[in-house]
């Protein structure tokens, strides 16, 4: 799914999703379509609860 859809499904802002990708917490690939680039993010349904807990643990450590 794309960045906006992943942010909506995980209940986080787009920048948080990009940060999680860069930190290795989410699996994603960079795709190119013409001059545009974007992310295709793997948010599988079996790991969704684990991925949703990222925002909870992230907030509790700050």
Give counts: helices (H), strands (E), the chain: 3, 2
**In the predicted model, what is the mean pLDDT of the chain?**
79
Total structural domains in the chain? 1
Say which residues have a Cβ less than 8 Å from residue 40's Cβ, sequence separation at least 6.
Answer: 1, 2, 28, 29, 31
Burial of 17 by CB count in 10 Å (0-12 exposed, 13-18 middle, 19+ buried)?
Answer: buried
Asked if residue 25 is part of any domain, the answer here is: yes
**Residue 14 pLDDT greater than 90, yes or no:** yes
Instruction: Kindly tell me if the per-residue pLDDT of 9 is higher than 50.
Output: yes
Task: Determine phi and psi for 30, rounding to 5 degrees.
Answer: -90, 130
Going by the DSSP 8-state scheme, the letter that residue 26 receives in this structure is S
User: Containing domain of residue 24, as a range?
Assistant: 3-51
Residue 14 lies in a domain: yes
- Indicate the pTM of the whole model: 0.66
């Amino acid at each position: 799914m794309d960045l906006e859809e992943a942010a909506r499904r995980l209940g986080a802002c787009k920048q948080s999703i990009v940060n999680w990708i860069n930190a290795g917490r989410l699996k994603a690939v960079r795709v190119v379509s013409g001059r545009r680039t974007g992310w295709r993010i793997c948010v599988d349904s079996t790991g969704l609860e684990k991925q949703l807990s990222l925002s909870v643990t992230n907030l509790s450590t700050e």
